[in-house]
Structure 1
């Protein structure tokens, strides 16, 4: 007997409306699930754990299609595991999103004519917390709309007290282990956000710029360099050439005059320089270029900072006070006036880094910052995958992961912001530097000359702790013992470096070598139906709430899951969501029909000997699909499992089994009762299989069908092992008979509901027991006294003779078919002529020849089909 199905289901006429209305169902259902605690996780449970963390969305954000896609996949995994008997935790929460959140609040202040400096640090942070309470977290409500089965009681925020303690703890440990240090290095500086940003927060795009070649030095000591950033020449402290470049060997070690200044700079030899690129000589600006900084370190060159934090020129002279772009034009003009410009190329398209948040052009800048020494941490993160402790799925994504962690530079973790985790380091009056742990007091007061570092930590620093900080670490909690490590991480390949690598490094370091998850399942990005990236600027961005309002959350979820191949981008269009809505309606209508015709889950399945071949066929297929879906889930093949369920439910259950069973139901008796129980079983299992992806419609239908409490807590179906190859072959042959006759009817122009007299010859075939179903599905009347076979179709060993007299205009049909036949024969002749032309074949590209061969094959196929139709027409 089906678990939770002890009572007869209520009458469908009162409890199942004629049409499915998602808006009436989804909200109340979700709140019922939450109230009953279905999504909560118990660390004291004896069940095996299954843990997934949500990639924490920014507190400033709202649900976009990428979120909806990722959440659908995670929710499907956790719902299935819950039904399989696991203690399932889907950990929710949000990220404080340092730069993004500070920008939002600063814009609000600007409307009041204020800046954060008018408020002061403490009041500004209070203002951000106020904004978070009022406006942040809108995404939580949208997650409920989508049906996310998260443990809401465990919701976390990266600035929570507990998570802040975790941040301070790991900072202190890394600092004491000399894996965190402070140093002056070149960083990516955003003149708009006024903070350093990491390499992976820089977006590169092709911009139209200018390439200027200019002369340094005079006479025999002249050397030409080229640059796209002429303004940085004010900070040049050398010109570099390759040591083996014969053109410049006489200049190495000499000083050349730096134009527009009163300085001379040396020519140095460095292997970093590519002698084949440009003139083979490069200007060196150690304070404003990462490669130049390295050259400067090797040759002990001074680093001159010539811009302030707003990218305004600070170097003394006529360009002081100009914005960098203004200075660029002014400096080129001044060099041109002195005859120093050798060549100018504009527009010169080149790759330029931009801040991923505000899109401002990044300025490389020498700055004192805090850094993580990633060498040993990154090695551990790489080894964990190489050793098989962590699997990356799909496996071909491993290369991308290794390319990153094996070549990782030290990570700049300090940000010049006020919103975020403040760096727990204090500076004393006599140059003391003290890192303070979470249980330690500051070493002194401001009055005594002590001050805390003003910077905050990179947001990715705290989110890198997410798999264990959310479970109570550094305390050794029961939740941490039960739910760490995560079973799987489901995330986009686009944040493999932003987030995944950070979690790997910190998890292995903090948790004694235990990685934060067993499997990393990577998915692609959602794109529009033409494969183009969705963007407001492109005009193709979609608010998923609009589609959920219009078609229901299940329709959006099913569309997203059906496009989810591992590691591959997902195209989506509104017509596909509409198609998924139609599928939900099909499930609804088919289940309603089954209920109205007495389908039941009460009692065990009848013995095999009492089952018809149709019953055995659908039960055999059902078990195959259960096994297939399980295999696809275990391999994160969401598209394949969704497609398998779609075709099984729509094609096999609804379009074939239900239709084939109608005559049995009408006939009544024991066979009808058996089929009603089989149909109930098939729907019970099918609804369970569909539930993780389309939870709302399946919950409504399953509880009505079974009388059970909720499909959320029902047992996941298992493959009973029942297979019946003979029944499958029999029904496949029966389908071919019906399909062929339907095709013939359509070819003859008969309306789908038009009834035609027919004689069925089924002796010696397995179809004798299906005659009533065949006649009903094909709208075939009994022969009658005046029956005349005007067309005969032999199919799969059976013979179907039809009397079409009076049903079609034979003369008109012959004329139409003759016209089609002539067109097909003309197409065949033209294709043969081209393929028989040796000169044409010698010159034509392969794809053109292949296209003509395809046309020939199609023409021959049409000729055969039309001739067969003509032969089947009544004579006269």
Structure 2
């Protein structure tokens, strides 16, 4: 082995070896039990950052672990290339606007540009040593995926779980599309409570509002029926300031008597409470805000203005006409679109929905059937489901996405759906094959596209080729594991559970593994939008190696956030150097090893093999619970302390001087160190696949016969010899005491000790005496006296 490890050379060679020999190919469960993994298809929206490396690498380590547990691992990869993020990327990179091009032309540009980015993404994952079967790759905008997504929709329509209706909808005026509740974020903003008087036939009623620009859309006032201040006003009318039209005063138990003045203005629509009251009391609709974020031209004084401009103008007018009693500065929490950060509006619109509110109990029951890692993440899911207020709006007023396979009769407005054999269809380019039941043969195509989550939520079905000729649901469903970050529990996890229950009547996966974030500094997630992702993964891999990045990614407890700076990689680099140097030393003494004839092993050699076995058992148990960081720390304790600090030092002289210790003693050491190092390499192979396989190729391949270390399995023993392990601890304690003594007396570790005394339980007398030559050499002592209890 070379004196120094050349990661640039080694990593390329290993990746080539794995690819040429199809080491990670899925075998369709022909000879082994299948473990299938549902991997999040990264959004094609620009460059990947260190946060992606962190979470995706943790999941990849589980794929490697399961493979070395004897499973036929189904580990695919997809790319989420339809939807708003892709549109934005193409508009920015191509300097075009989607609305200015024919949709088919814009779609072709999206496919071409996203394919380029996907290739770059793929190269990065490959450079990280991902054990993906790239034959299973998919794109959410590809024809087959579109067909599966459209098939899912049509099935939901038949089940009466998908429906279209005109109703208030969450709307982003920046992106100019409807959005779902799960796409909301919140932001604390400075605002103003504006106190206005609504005149009545008696004393005027004062209300406090942060949205005076909606006065024209005010359809009633609400008070709490238990509020003694206002109970006598119920059923009367009030006049809207400035506009001077009359509205009723109604009662509802949800009105807070403590907030503001206790009188609430209901406008269509200022917030979600307005939408509830609109439906509950069949209130009239007076639309103020249009989809482009401007005030309707019909609204006196404000028509054509943007919302914030209109708010300022309304306040000016109210002050001018002495209708503004007072103002109060406040900070309040508002709903914003998670994609752009723009405050959302609620406007009436005709949209497609999936019914989720009627099955909340079913979705909560599903949470109990899934194993959540860490378990605390289950609560986040449950709280989300319990607090759902809207059905899932799945239609988006965008340009690039999976089209709805729907047309509307020009005469009667009836929805006409594509036949399944036609899929995928684009209603803008294709026409229905049948006439409407009313006899009309002219149709208006649906122009909306699916919410990107409507397709991403069927990733288990995409992987299972749902409804296709090569459907393999019976092989991979329910999937073994879903890996994802915690911020998309309410979207990807929830929606996937919904779709799976509706389509297969079973949970989508048995386990869900939820990772944390990488933070640039306390409390700040690394993301492109925050401009704090300057360390590109490719540069980091080029400068430090893939294995260094991977070892770092396996450092934290599952589900917890971690910080990143290049300083963090020093520990990883020390590990790589230590593993290489320790392996060089070990293998230099094994050229004449005979692994086919097991010698009688000395106690210390039995101990290190037992420690490898113990660590393998502990690590497997932790990895079965997806605790990648804790498992790695178990391995580190074995490698750094027991193997390097103690075992190698204990048997070093025995390996160098067989004439002094005897040939059989050397063979015992050779056998043990051969298998101990191989066991350690197998453990670390899931974390640092390149260096472990490179060392394996250097020496072990011709002896173990498998092409790659990644074709080997971990030892499956379930019990350990506790007496041997305790002996090892006693042995380490003695050596540590000698080292401590020398250090405290300013002695070199090589300085001779005249005498050392071993005090321990008589159980270990034989083991210590059989280890005496090693102990004398390791401590550089002349004599050992034993005191056994």
Q: Is 1:337 aligned to residue 320 of structure 2?
A: yes
776 and 271 in structure 1: CA distance in 2 versus 1, 3 angstrom threshold:
same
Q: Is 1:240 aligned to residue 222 of structure 2?
A: yes
Partner of 1:71: 56
796 and 548 in structure 1: CA distance in 2 versus 1, 3 angstrom threshold:
farther
Q: Is 1:53 aligned to residue 38 of structure 2?
A: yes
Structure 2 CA distance for aligned equivalents of residues 600 and 588 of structure 1: 20
Whose radius of gyration is greater, 1 or 2? Answer: 1
Structure 2 runs not aligned, ≥5 long: 423-430
Q: 2:258 aligns with which of 262, 271, 276?
A: 276
Structure 2 CA distance for aligned equivalents of residues 466 and 297 of structure 1: 35
Q: Is 1:663 aligned to residue 653 of structure 2?
A: yes
377 and 166 in structure 1: CA distance in 2 versus 1, 3 angstrom threshold:
farther
Partner of 2:574: 582
Secondary structure of 2:232 counterpart: coil
Structure 2 CA distance for aligned equivalents of residues 296 and 254 of structure 1: 19
Q: 1:716 aligns with which of 714, 717, 739?
A: 714
Q: 2:619 aligns with which of 615, 621, 629?
A: 629
Structure 1 CA distance for aligned equivalents of residues 533 and 404 of structure 2: 41
Partner of 2:427: none
Native 8 Å contact 2:757 2:787 kept in 1: no
Written as runs of structure 1 = structure 2, the 5 A alignment for 1:96-115 is: 96-109=81-94, 111=95, 114-115=96-97
Partner of 1:758: 754
Native 8 Å contact 1:547 1:577 kept in 2: no
Q: 2:72 aligns with which of 87, 112, 137?
A: 87
Native 8 Å contact 2:520 2:532 kept in 1: no
Partner of 2:516: 524
Structure 2 CA distance for aligned equivalents of residues 448 and 108 of structure 1: 41
Superposed displacement of residue 250, structure 1: 2.8
Superposed displacement of residue 119, structure 1: 1.7
Structure 2 CA distance for aligned equivalents of residues 540 and 161 of structure 1: 33
413 and 759 in structure 1: CA distance in 2 versus 1, 3 angstrom threshold:
same
Q: Is 1:353 aligned to residue 349 of structure 2?
A: no
528 and 605 in structure 1: CA distance in 2 versus 1, 3 angstrom threshold:
farther
Superposed displacement of residue 94, structure 1: 0.8
Partner of 1:843: none
Structure 2 CA distance for aligned equivalents of residues 733 and 402 of structure 1: 49
Structure 1 CA distance for aligned equivalents of residues 28 and 752 of structure 2: 67
Partner of 1:404: 384
Q: 1:552 aligns with which of 520, 545, 554?
A: 545
Q: Is 1:597 aligned to residue 589 of structure 2?
A: yes
Partner of 2:488: 495
Superposed displacement of residue 558, structure 1: 1.7
Secondary structure of 2:554 counterpart: helix
Q: 1:562 aligns with which of 542, 552, 555?
A: 555
Partner of 2:300: 317
Give RMSD over aligned pairs.
Answer: 2.6
Structure 1 CA distance for aligned equivalents of residues 311 and 757 of structure 2: 91
Native 8 Å contact 1:84 1:716 kept in 2: yes
Native 8 Å contact 2:211 2:311 kept in 1: yes
Partner of 1:820: none
Structure 2 CA distance for aligned equivalents of residues 412 and 650 of structure 1: 54
Q: 1:149 aligns with which of 123, 131, 146?
A: 131
Secondary structure of 2:268 counterpart: coil
Larger displacement relative to structure 2 (494-503 or 176-185): 176-185
Superposed displacement of residue 101, structure 1: 0.9
Secondary structure of 1:670 counterpart: helix
Superposed displacement of residue 682, structure 1: 0.6
Superposed displacement of residue 757, structure 1: 5.6
Larger displacement relative to structure 2 (81-90 or 131-140): 131-140
Structure 2 CA distance for aligned equivalents of residues 27 and 654 of structure 1: 28
Native 8 Å contact 1:434 1:443 kept in 2: no
Partner of 1:43: 28
Superposed displacement of residue 215, structure 1: 1.3
TM-score by length of 1: 0.82
Native 8 Å contact 1:54 1:91 kept in 2: yes
Native 8 Å contact 2:220 2:247 kept in 1: yes
Larger displacement relative to structure 2 (317-326 or 453-462): 317-326
Secondary structure of 1:439 counterpart: helix
Partner of 1:167: 149
Q: Is 1:471 aligned to residue 461 of structure 2?
A: no
Written as runs of structure 1 = structure 2, the 5 A alignment for 1:681-720 is: 681-707=675-701, 708=705, 709-719=707-717
Q: 1:442 aligns with which of 432, 440, 445?
A: 432
Larger displacement relative to structure 2 (212-221 or 275-284): 212-221
Q: Deviations over 1:407-435 (max 9, x none)?
A: 43311111000110111211112122212
Q: 1:480 aligns with which of 464, 473, 483?
A: 473
Written as runs of structure 1 = structure 2, the 5 A alignment for 1:476-875 is: 477=470, 479-511=472-504, 513-528=505-520, 530=522, 532-535=524-527, 537=530, 539=532, 542-563=535-556, 565-598=557-590, 602-604=594-596, 606=598, 610-668=600-658, 669-707=663-701, 708=705, 709-719=707-717, 721=719, 723=721, 725=723, 727-752=724-749, 755-756=751-752, 758-760=754-756, 767=768, 770=771, 773-774=774-775, 776-778=777-779, 797=787
639 and 684 in structure 1: CA distance in 2 versus 1, 3 angstrom threshold:
same
Larger displacement relative to structure 2 (286-295 or 667-676): 286-295
Native 8 Å contact 1:600 1:679 kept in 2: no
Partner of 1:121: 103
Structure 2 CA distance for aligned equivalents of residues 600 and 619 of structure 1: 20
Larger displacement relative to structure 2 (16-25 or 528-537): 528-537
Partner of 2:425: none
Q: Deviations over 1:233-265 (max 9, x none)?
A: 221111111112221223222222212214222
Partner of 1:417: 398
Superposed displacement of residue 774, structure 1: 4.2
Q: Deviations over 1:152-201 (max 9, x none)?
A: 01100112211111111121121122211112222221112111111221
Q: Deviations over 1:444-479 (max 9, x none)?
A: 699953121110010000111110122211126353
Partner of 1:788: none
Aligned residues: 760
Structure 2 CA distance for aligned equivalents of residues 601 and 627 of structure 1: 27
Secondary structure of 2:202 counterpart: helix
Larger displacement relative to structure 2 (652-661 or 122-131): 122-131
Partner of 2:164: 182
